[in-house]
Structure 1
C-alpha cells in the first residue's frame, strides 16, 4: 500500500493504519494524506482516477484516534474501489425517490444525508473492525453520545459527516445513537448492560417522534453484499423513516424547504 504525506504532519499513524489494513486487504491506488489546519474538517476521503486523498485536520491527525480514523478512511477507499453499492449509489437519486412530492424541512433533508453517510460508515467499519481493535471506537461512541445528550442544544446544527458530535439536535442524536448501537451489536462489541444503551434511551426520550429501535434494526441488518437495487431500497426506506414517518413532511411539490 502506497501512502504519501503531503505537507507537514505526522506520518506514523497513517503508516500504522496501512500496516493493519494490509493484513486483510490492499488498495490499487496510492493514498495521499493531506493534513489541514481547520479543526472542524475532521476526516473525509476523496477519490480520483489516479489516487485517493485522505483529508484530516491537524487536531485529528495528532489525536489518540489518528490511526483508527485513517483505518476507517482506508476502508471507505476499499469499498469505493470494489464499487460497493453503498459507495456508488447516488444519495440525491435515493432521496428524490423517497421524498418526491413532499415538502421536507431543510434541517431534515440535511439529516437524511447524515443517515446515508452512516450507512456508508457501517460498510466501511465492517472492514475496519476485522483488521483493527474496537475499544477506542466504543469509547468514542460513548463519550460523543454522552456529550450530545448532555448538550440538548436550543438551536439546530449540521452534524459531522463521519463522527457523532455534541450540539446536534435531538432528532439526529437519536439516529446517531441507533447507529452506535447497531455497530456494536453488528460486531458484538458490548453487552446489553453497557452505558451506551442508557444514553441511547435518554436521547430517544428527548425526541420521541424518531424511532430508535427501527433505526437500530435498519442499520444492524444491512446485508453485507446487497445488489444495487436492494441497497437503493434500504436508503429510500431510511429516508422515509426519518423524514416521513417521524412527522417531518407535508404534501408539497418539492423535497426541500
Structure 2
C-alpha cells in the first residue's frame, strides 16, 4: 500500500494508519495525502483512475485524531475499490426515486446528502473498527453531538434560524441516530453511556424526527448488499427524512 504525503506537515499519522490498515486490508491504488490550510474541510477523499487523494486540514492532520481520520479515509478508499454499492450509488438517482413529484425544503435536500454520507460511513467504519481501537471514535462522536446541542439557541423551535446543516435540530437528531447505530452495531458502549442522554436531548429538539427509527435504519444496513438492496435502503431513508419528517408540504420542489 503506497501512501505519499505531498504537502508540508506531519507524516507519521498517515504512515502509522497505513501500517494498521495493512494488518487486514490493502489498496490497489496509491494514496496521495494533501494537507490543506482550510480548517473547515477536515478530511475528504477523491478517487481517480490511477490513485486516491486524501485531503485533510492542517488542524486535523496535527490533532490527536489524525491517525484515526486517515484510517477512516483508507476504509472509504477500500470500499470504493471494492465497488461497494454505498460508494457508487448516485445520490441524484436516489433523490429522484424517493422524491419525484414532491415539494421538499432545500435544507432537507442538503441534509439528504449528509444522510447518504452516514450510510457510507457505516460501511467504512465496519472496516475501521475491524483494525483499530474504538475509544477515540466514541469520544469524537460524543464530543461532536454535545457541541451541536450546545449551539442550539434558546428561542422556541419555530423561531430558530439555522445557517448551517450542523446547527439544524433535525439533522442533529439524525446525526445522533447515526452515532448510536454505529456504537450499537459494534457493541462499543454500555446502555448508560452519555451518548444516549445526548441523543435523547437531540430527539427532544426535533420532535418530527424519530431518533430510534433512523438508528434502526443505520444499524441494520446489510453487511454486503447488492446494488438493488442498497438503492432501496438509501431511497427509503431519504423519503423517511425528507417527506415523512417534514410535516405539511412546502418549500422547494425536489426535481
TM-score by length of 2: 0.95
Q: Write the deviation string for residues 156-203 of structure 1: whole angstroms up to 9, x where unpaired.
A: 2444xxxxxxx5210000000000000000000001100000000001
> Are positions 1:150 and 2:150 aligned together?
yes
Q: Does 1:31 align with 2:31?
A: yes
Correspondence list, 1:126-165, <5 A:
126-153=126-153, 154-159=160-165
For residue 252 of structure 1, report the CA deviation from its aligned partner.
Answer: 9.0
Q: In the alignment, is residue 100 of structure 1 matched against residue 105 of structure 2?
A: no
CA–CA distance in structure 2, aligned partners of residues 4 and 121 of structure 1: 24
Q: Which runs of 5+ in 1 are unaligned?
A: 160-166
Kept in 2, the 8 Å contact 1:109–1:243? The answer is yes
Q: Indicate the residue corresponding to 1:175 in structure 2.
A: 174
Contact 1:138 1:184 in 2 (8 A): yes
Q: 1:222 maps to what in 2?
A: 221
Per the alignment, residue 49 of structure 2 pairs with 49
Secondary structure of 2:167 counterpart = coil
Residue of structure 1 equivalent to 2:117: 117
How many residues are paired up?
249
Give yes or no for contact 1:41–1:56 (8 Å, CA) kept in 2: yes
Alignment of 1:38-77 (within 5 A): 38-77=38-77
Report the CA distance between 1:254 and its aligned residue: 3.4
Whether the 8 Å CA contact 2:32–2:52 is kept in 1: the answer is: yes
How far apart are the structure 1 equivalents of 2:196 and 2:218?
16
SS in 2 for 1:193: coil
Alignment correspondent of 1:212? 211
Conserved 8 A contact 2:105-2:252:
no
* Residue ranges of structure 2 left out of the alignment (5+ in a row): 154-159
Q: Distance in 1 between matches of 2:248 and 2:52?
A: 38
1 CA distance for matches of 2:177 and 2:245?
15
**How far 1:249 moved relative to its partner?**
6.2
SS for the counterpart of 1:229 is helix
**Preserved CA contact (<8 Å) 1:3 1:32:** yes
